[in-house]
Structure 1
């Protein structure tokens, strides 16, 4: 009896330490109101990923851009109106891929048919991201549900809240640190670059200033830089050209991204900086040598990211459409 009381008291104390909004999230939130929720999302993302293999990386990036700016409220999904320029149209978000938006819309459409006015777009994005990461070979992690959709989205408020490809480590640490993430968590989340791609425009200035002398730019492996130059040769004619962030296993969620960095096989300035900076290099080396540790730390960081700035209860709404507020 005494042991039971101790366990009960410990559980109650744990609940009281949770933020009020976070404590209203449950992994089985839709068990009664929309029992087919998990299966509908899983079927949708599976079909989309098979048809469009870049969907997983794009959705993961979309989730990052939603949560790091103003919390995980689905505000990145809102379209601009004649009276408001939404955050999805901010300069840094213009390169977010259409397939990522589309997979959320498809899941929302199916869910509205199964259980109207029940499932938020923010929850769909969170679960779709997890399912796609797992589908690519990454870790499974819990996604508590019950987020409400935000009603506002403003492009002018985005600047400075999201990581940019050319940021220094100090700047990256500041961006993630302002959201409560440690240096190690920042490195773990950067491992999302194990899948996906970057546009040539995001790093072209570095590779085209590169010479054959190793001293001129020690960050890039010379052969790799040459390959990037060839891949991005037509950038002036085609600004949408892109390359994989992990050239070794681009379609598999693993720790090879971290193994690439000491070899000069990083694509972006921020990738190179992770290995070159003394604050982050130990974690790069840790994850390069231990994929299980990377997966465990990435999963924990994603769980933390997924409840950032959420709206629950009477705050926010359940949108009828993911691209527009109900009023």
Structure 2
């Protein structure tokens, strides 16, 4: 019998309670989220919510390379070609993310290695988000014709301006120090400290003030955040110059004119200008819209956006170019950001059918 896509270990604590240790178990795919993984995680979290003996959840990924590299986009593309535009997958994935955001018991996510897309959705909503010197965090959807989903509208709009916008437009990879500054991480620990951290949790009484006690354990073990040189936030002035203002086209033109020898900035420019023009508009819109919305409304909006993305040609073409054929030459439906009409953008936020997240 094959091993489960989610491993569960219930670890007894010194007080006779249990810490539920969940592990994403698909290291060959960098723990990319499949529908069975999402469904099993949801089932476990629903179960733990009503079990008094479970006092904390600890979530990590199998292997050394990644916590979670995102959703299984190759499978989503295959399904989209067959006419399935991700309705069930996105509904269940976003419901899981919403559950994590609103969970009553502490959820500690160990975000070492690659944390991208759907992986950031799991990390972002957790009560205690732990990163290490190996963490590489990104929302690189502009390269595949999607957009920063899984609550990305919420996370990027809450980040200090204009850094969330920069991250969404360029798909850049940031490290743990950046993530703390962006508000998408809470603690930095040494990568080899995980087992000691779990051992320390087992000695603490988590039956009362659990969140506070978990924070205390993490604070005592936290590494000096200044020991990691930020990748993105070390370019603060450049990013502010590039991304400030209230006009997307002006920002795109600044990137086009950017002449730099800096590898991070030049790489970010390249990803934006070779990326999907529609995605740039979706990133702009989601960050503009999210501050006036509840989290439930954000996930409902993102479900509509995602279904529409999978129904259109850009997602299929982006995944083909990056993942399937690997020619890195996507032929987007628009040749430039300026050639996307306002009506086309507005249509991505409209879907005349029942929203499966209406009950959130």
User: Under a length normalisation based on structure 2, what TM-score does the superposition of the two structures give?
Assistant: 0.23
Q: Which has the higher contact order (CA 8 A, sep 6+)?
A: 1
Q: Structure 1 or 2: larger strand share?
A: 2
User: Under a length normalisation based on structure 1, what TM-score does the superposition of the two structures give?
Assistant: 0.25
